[in-house]
Structure 1
Amino acid sequence: MSDILNYGVIGCGMMGQEHLRNIALLPGARVAAIFEPDEIQAAAAGALAPEAVMYGSLWDLLGDTRLDCLLVASPNHLHVSQFEEIAARNPLPLLMEKPLFTDPDDAPRLRAMAEGYAAPIWVAMEYRYMPPVQTLLDQVAQATGGVKMLTIQEHRFPFLDKVGFWNRFNRYTGGTLVEKCCHFFDLMRLILRDEPVRVMASAGQEVNHMAESYEAGTPDIWDSAYVICDFAGGARAMLELCMYAEGSRFQEEISAIGPAGKIETRIPGPGRFWPPHLGAPPVSEVVVSPRNPRGPQSIEIPVDPQLLAAGDHNGSTYYQHVRFADAARGKGPVEVSLTDGLRAVEMGLAAQAAALEGRVVTL
């Protein structure tokens, strides 16, 4: 491997372009090759990474001998087949965007392929790397004395417009509780250091996209949900999702409570959506509220403005690439494993089934 880490990027829509902007900030790394079949997105990607070679197929990109690692940021339903092609043609260190898969039948295929994959596989769970979430992770055990109750709330804007509006349909996304919320199920496992055993949910499409119509049909993607997960060690976790609440000051709020106290973090949404007439966008904060002595202690967690401008995830995409680049170079561990990606999707699929069928799903 040369001093420069050469990325091959598969898929350069909205999220793929966020990755391009963040790789451009990464010392000792560059985007060397891109496969993006949509002409408009390919042109935008070429402007962000002008030195990259544009390929007409994934197979051709995988034949580029300069590449040191790969990033897949294509639509969800393409991930498994593209992973298969990569494994067969050029199994380089791989950063695979979430969700890892959308069809329950694909989980065994992924496990089988991963067993023979010699290079690191890292599932992109950006929310782990938001600075306020990192602060919560560092302090949660001491602040709570062991988490018994965990609540994750996301009040945000509707799904944005993506190529072919693929994100409006369950058959392409895996459903909202897979597509959007596997991040949060991953955080539940990470914070609790435990595995879920039961999932209950209520969810539906109440407001968004109901009057829209596309070549693929009428959108069926959900826009709101409550999900409750029981964990093996006795902790309970809840997700509250609303995707027609973009007027909120904070987009994500996480609260963890245990016998010693509570720790919370509040995270604003993308700064580009903040109304200019309200002044500067809010700054993330972490609040620790011990039971004894009582009294909340609050600190702000600012993020480098350059990183905020490079994406919509509170700087986390950059910090994730720093860690992934170390793993790709053999200088650090894989922090988000294939198993982590699989479990997060399995929780999302269980929540989809629980809400759709009105039952408790046992894992």
Structure 2
Amino acid sequence: MVAKLNYGIIGCGMMGQEHLRNIALLPDVAVAAIFEPDAGMRALAAEAVPSAKMVDSVEDVLAVAEVNCLLIASPNYLHLQQLETIARIRPLPVLVEKPLFTAPEDAPRLAALRAAYPAPIWVAMEYRYMPPVARMIEEAAEATGGIRMLTIREHRFPFLEKVGDWNRLNRNTGGTLVEKCCHFFDLMRHILKSDPVRIMASGGQSVNHLDEVYGGEKSDIWDNAYVIVDFASGARAMLELCMFAEGARYQEEISAVGPKGKIECLVPGPGRFWPEHLGEPPVAQVIVSPRDPKGPRVVEIPVDPTLLAAGDHNGSTFYQHQRFVRAARGEGEVEVAVKDGWWAVAMGLAAQQSALTGQVVDMTTQTYAPGAQN
């Protein structure tokens, strides 16, 4: 067992900074090395963790002897390449931000990595660990009698500005239904305990970033979509995404329904975006609505203010790191494995394919899905 974990951080932009704040809350954990090429973000990281060595490459992070686990929080299109570099030089336990990869042709490389990597790889699917979502998942089977329909609605703000505006182009992100929505496709599989068999979608760019141009390329990221997914279990799920709806009281609304009843959770967005003149931000809720006898039961799920202040994900980044640390020490299982992150991207790629072609996508025939690589 490793007594103390020393993270090496690869990429320390907006999300990386959130990771730093949450790692700082963990006992017997430190950040030993940081690689961040952007001067502004590098300065912020050095200020946040003055004891960390600021280095100039992934290879330099791996050369720091004290580093015994890794976090990848770089732009999406770099994740797989950086994992391959780590595998070649010094494979350590790694927490890698979503998405795992960004294009269908990357799937064979990911399959090779998964087969050979000797240490834990944990994919950062924070939404599983939001307290209201975790509570809903815990009670869903009893409340519904077996979920037959699952709906996830996210009404939120537009994409935030990232270093170098990398997230304004589909070729860098994998596309909105991969970049943003792989979280929700992961939740669907996790909640329903089944794999997808058919996906159909409609989506596009309707309001945001319409006139933005970066290096001669027009921004092409989508800002709204509907996605319907049929699962092998017979359950079905739907995603509704709107990224020009930041006026909503809650950012995520998730509902699960079965023969016995309905359970839902309501999750507020980042507190820093809540208007001060409206008073205190809303508190997350879980609502159980049985069919018989009727009578919805509402439970508020408050989150530790320290965790809310440490990031934009309702405390989930902290809880995710808690679990990753246990897995890295050999004290717990990897809860979000490569296969989970892979399926989430495959579902996003299929949804985008469906929206572009107007056709239903059969997941059992897609070469970029995990099953095709086994």
TM-score interval, normalised by the smaller of the two chains: over 0.9
2:267 corresponds to 1:267: yes
Give, in whole Å, the separation in 2 of the partners of 1:213 and 1:16.
Answer: 26
Aligned length: 363
Q: State the distance in 1 between where 2:49 and 2:349 align.
A: 36
- What corresponds to 1:337 in structure 2? 337
Instruction: Tell me, in whole angstroms, the C-alpha distance in 2 between the residues paired with 1:323 and 1:160.
Output: 28
Q: Distance in 1 between matches of 2:226 and 2:347?
A: 13
Alignment of 1:164-243 (within 5 A): 164-215=164-215, 217-243=217-243
Task: State the partner residue of 1:120.
Answer: 120
Give runs of aligned pairs for residues 1-363 of structure 1, distance below 5 A. Answer: 3-215=3-215, 217-363=217-363
Note closer, same or farther for the CA distance 1:188–1:2 as it changes in structure 2 (3 Å cut): closer
Look up the SS of the partner of 1:227 in the other structure. Answer: strand
> Which residue type is aligned with residue 257 of structure 1?
V
CA distance in 2, matches of 1:242, 1:57: 37
Where 1:248 maps in the other structure, the secondary structure is coil
Counterparts of 1:337 and 1:215, CA distance in 2: 36
| Offset, 1:346 | 0.2
Q: Alpha-carbon deviations, 1:207-264, whole Å to 9, x = none?
A: 0001212215110000000000001111110000000000000000000000000000
CA distances 1:327-357 after superposition (whole Å, capped 9, x unpaired): 0000000000000000000000000000011
What is the deviation of 1:4? Answer: 2.0
The letter of the residue matching 1:145 is G
Instruction: Name whichever of 197-206 and 107-116 sits farther off.
Output: 107-116
CA contact (8 A) 2:2 2:329 kept: no
SS of the counterpart of 1:263?
strand
Q: What TM-score, normalized by structure 2, do the two folds share?
A: 0.96
3-state SS, counterpart of residue 6 of structure 2: strand
Task: Provide the TM-score with structure 1 as the length reference.
Answer: 0.99
Cα distance in 2 between the residues matched to 1:148 and 1:259: 8
User: Counterpart of 2:366?
Assistant: none
Could you tell which deviates more after superposition, 60-69 or 218-227?
60-69
Match of 1:105, SS state, is helix
The alpha carbon displacement at 1:3 in A equals 2.7
Of 210-219 and 155-164, the range deviating more from structure 2: 210-219
**Partners of 2:215 and 2:38 in 1: CA distance:** 17
User: Is there any run of 5+ residues in structure 2 with no aligned partner, and where?
Assistant: 364-374
Alignment-derived partner of residue 370 in structure 2: none
Q: 2:214 is paired with a residue of what secondary structure? A: coil
The whole-number CA distance in structure 1 between the counterparts of 2:275 and 2:253 is 20
Q: Deviations over 1:113-151 (max 9, x none)?
A: 121111101000000000001101100000000000000
Residues of 1 paired with 2:243 and 2:120: CA distance?
34
The CA deviation string for residues 90-119 of structure 1, in whole angstroms up to 9 with x for no partner, is 100010100000011111111111211111
In the superposition, relative to structure 1, how do residues 113 and 216 fare at CA in structure 2: closer, same or farther (>3 Å)?
A: farther
Give the Å deviation of 1:2: 5.1
One-letter identity of the residue aligned with 1:252? E
- SS of the residue corresponding to residue 16 of structure 1 reads helix
- Secondary structure of the equivalent of 2:191? helix
Looking at structure 2, the residues matched to 7 and 216 of structure 1 have their Cα atoms a distance apart, in angstroms, of 38
CA distance in 2, matches of 1:47, 1:189: 39
CA distance in 1, matches of 2:107, 2:315: 30
Aligned amino acid, residue 136 of structure 2: L
Equivalent position SS for 1:9: strand
One-letter code aligned to 2:88: A
Separation in 1 of the partners of 2:161 and 2:181? Answer: 18
- Structure 2: how far apart are the matches of 1:216 and 1:321? 39
Is contact 2:307-2:314 (8 Å) kept? yes
CA distance in 1, matches of 2:247, 2:113: 43
Q: Distance in 1 between matches of 2:13 and 2:253?
A: 27
What is the rounded CA distance, in whole Å, between the counterparts of 1:156 and 1:307 in structure 2?
A: 20
